[in-house]
Amino acid sequence: MADRSLVIGQLGQSLDGRVATLSGESKYISGACALDHLHRLRAAADAVIVGIGTVLADDPLLNVRRVPGRNPARVIIDPSGRLDHSARCLGDDGTRRIVLRRAGAVGTLPPGVEAMAVAADTEGRLPPASILAALRAAGLRRVLVEGGPATLASFLDARAIDRLHILVSPVILGSGRTGLDLRPIGGLKDALRPASRVTVFPDGDVLFDCDMRQAALEENGHGERTDHAVFAPG
């Protein structure tokens, strides 16, 4: 298991599958219980990953403050150096802060923030498998991919997510950013159908805990369940 990461993705979405309004507002689609759950996921992870789009839109802290627990390392995927040094997730609170960049990228980072270079593929993307290998080499094996949609899609398309927690809130936005835009499939037979456990939170949000590893194995004609009690809803 030392050569594998344990990767969980999360998405807080509306009943109509949106994760943000057209203007980019996403706080607070999820209710209080779902937010507590997200903070529990952070506390169970060694590292939380977000894309630069989320940092620019939301300026998140990415720490654990709604539940007891340890802050995970904060990892930002910023291949082109768009990150502002004043971003709140770069603040020094004793937690590791890592910026993932394309190999060869130049530019300074605030003191104490680690730069990690990842070789890009032919399309200039950072392959999720290489990102996870770089994080494992840094001692970070349990990983939460917190978003946004583009980042989560790149990990899902690469079949690099073991467990996907989709938190559905009883709210309809009617317009705005959709949560998951994956590579197009040829037909319904190609749809991913992960085995899922459903938890209804007291304030009405619903958690779908999806076993993506098993779904990926079934795509290839194999079957095997993953045990991820570490990320079980509390």
Ligand X SMILES: NC(=O)c1ccc[n+]([C@@H]2O[C@H](COP(=O)([O-])OP(=O)(O)OC[C@H]3O[C@@H](n4cnc5c(N)ncnc54)[C@H](OP(=O)(O)O)[C@@H]3O)[C@@H](O)[C@H]2O)c1
- Our CB check for ligand X shows the closer of 6 and 145 to be 145
Task: Compute the distance between CA of residue 23 and CA of residue 191 in angstroms, rounded to an integer.
Answer: 30
Task: Compute the distance between CA of residue 206 and CA of residue 224 in angstroms, rounded to an integer.
Answer: 25
- Our CB check for ligand X shows the closer of 50 and 87 to be 50
What binding mask, one character per residue, do residues 60-99 give for ligand X by CB under 6 A, x or -? -----------------x-xx-x-----------------
- Our CB check for ligand X shows the closer of 88 and 218 to be 88
CB of 202 to ligand X, least distance (A): 20
In the window 116-175, what residues touch ligand X (CB under 6 A)? 125-126, 128, 146-151, 154
- Our CB check for ligand X shows the closer of 16 and 218 to be 16
CB neighbours of 43 closer than 8 A, spacing ≥ 6? Answer: 64, 67, 68, 69, 70, 71, 72
- Our CB check for ligand X shows the closer of 151 and 214 to be 151
User: Chain centroid to CA 198: how far?
Assistant: 19
Among 6, 7, 8, 20, binds ligand X (CB under 6 A): 20
Among 6, 11, 90, 173, binds ligand X (CB under 6 A): 11
- Our CB check for ligand X shows the closer of 72 and 147 to be 147
Report the chain's terminal Cα–Cα distance, integer Å.
Answer: 24
- Please state whether the peptide bond connecting residue 139 to the residue before it is cis, i.e. omega within 30 degrees of 0: no
Among 16, 17, 24, 208, binds ligand X (CB under 6 A): 24
Among 5, 54, 71, 214, binds ligand X (CB under 6 A): 54
User: Is residue 26 at the binding interface for ligand X, with CB under 6 A as the rule?
Assistant: yes
User: Is residue 105 at the binding interface for ligand X, with CB under 6 A as the rule?
Assistant: no
Residues found in the chain: 234
Task: Compute the distance between CA of residue 12 and CA of residue 167 in angstroms, rounded to an integer.
Answer: 5
Q: In 3-state terms, what secondary structure has residue 193? A: coil
Task: Compute the distance between CA of residue 119 and CA of residue 99 in angstroms, rounded to an integer.
Answer: 14
CB neighbours of 217 closer than 8 A, spacing ≥ 6? Answer: 223, 224
Residues that bind ligand X (CB under 6 A): 11-12, 19-20, 24, 26, 29, 50-54, 57-58, 77, 79-80, 82, 125-126, 128, 146-151, 154, 177
